Amino acid sequence: MSAETKTELPQVTGSCCSSTGSCQDSAAEARQDGVTTVYQVKGMTCGHCEGAVTSEISEIAGVSSVKAVAATGQVTVVSQAPLDDAAVRAAVDEAGYELVGQA
């Protein structure tokens, strides 16, 4: 038995004091606050499938980015807040595929 506690805190990778050493908040383009969740979807076989899943999931409120890859069956979703699995499942179902779960 191990009493060790593994800390896996998400590291903030953005540094305002990088190459130039100046702390200016002009690097707004790299700012993408949100939650990234990867889902496993069954049944996608081609780019058309990716498009169908992408467009359905994109319609969920709060979703800012969707990237579906048929080859792996993985769909990466960026949203402002954690999504309801049921909503994602419904969207995938609507597209004609099956949500296996979070990858």
CA distances from 83 to 3, 47, 77 (A): 33, 24, 9
- Whole-number minimum distance, CB 89 to Cu ion, in Å? 19
H or E stretch covering 53: helix 47-58
Residue closer to Cu ion by CB (options 83, 99) is 99
Q: Is 45 in the site for Cu ion (CB under 5 A)?
A: yes
Q: Is 75 in the site for Cu ion (CB under 5 A)?
A: no
Residue closer to Cu ion by CB (options 14, 47) is 47
Whole-number Å distance between alpha carbons of 42 and 65: 20
Quick one: which of 70, 59, 61 has its CA closest to 94? 59
Applying CB under 5 A, which of residues 27, 48, 84, 102 lies at the interface with Cu ion?
Answer: 48
- Whole-number minimum distance, CB 50 to Cu ion, in Å? 7
Q: Is 71 in the site for Cu ion (CB under 5 A)?
A: no
